[in-house]
A and B are shown apart, each in its own frame.
Chain A
Amino acid sequence: MTVMLEAQNVGKTFTLHVQDGTAIPVFKGVGLTLSAGDCVALTGNSGAGKSSFMRMLYANYVCSEGSIRVRHGGDWVDMATATPRRILEVRRRTMGYVSQFLRVIPRVSTLDIVAEPLRMLGADADAARDRAGALLARLNIPEKLRSLSPLTFSGGEQQRVNIARGFVAGHPILLLDEPTASLDAGNRTTVLELIEEAKADGSAILGIFHDGAVRDAVCTREFDITDYRVAAYG
Chain B
Amino acid sequence: MSMAEDGGYNFAYLDEQTKRMIRRATLKAVAIPGYQVPFASREMPMPYGWGTGGIQVTASVIGPDDVLKVIDQGSDDTTNAVSIRNFFAKTTGVRTTEDTAAATVIQTRHRIPEAPLRAGQILVYQVPIPEPLRFLEPREIETRKMHALEEYGLMHVKLYEDISRHGEIATTYAYPVRVSGRYVMDPSPTPKFDNPKMDRMAALQLFGAGREKRIYAIPPHTEVKSLDFDDYPFDVQKWDVPCALCGATDSFLDEVVLDDRGGRMFVCSDSHFCATRRAEGHRGADPTNADAFLMEAAGR
A/B touching: CB–CB < 8 A:
no
A-side residues, CB < 8 A to B, are: none
B-side residues, CB < 8 A to A, are: none
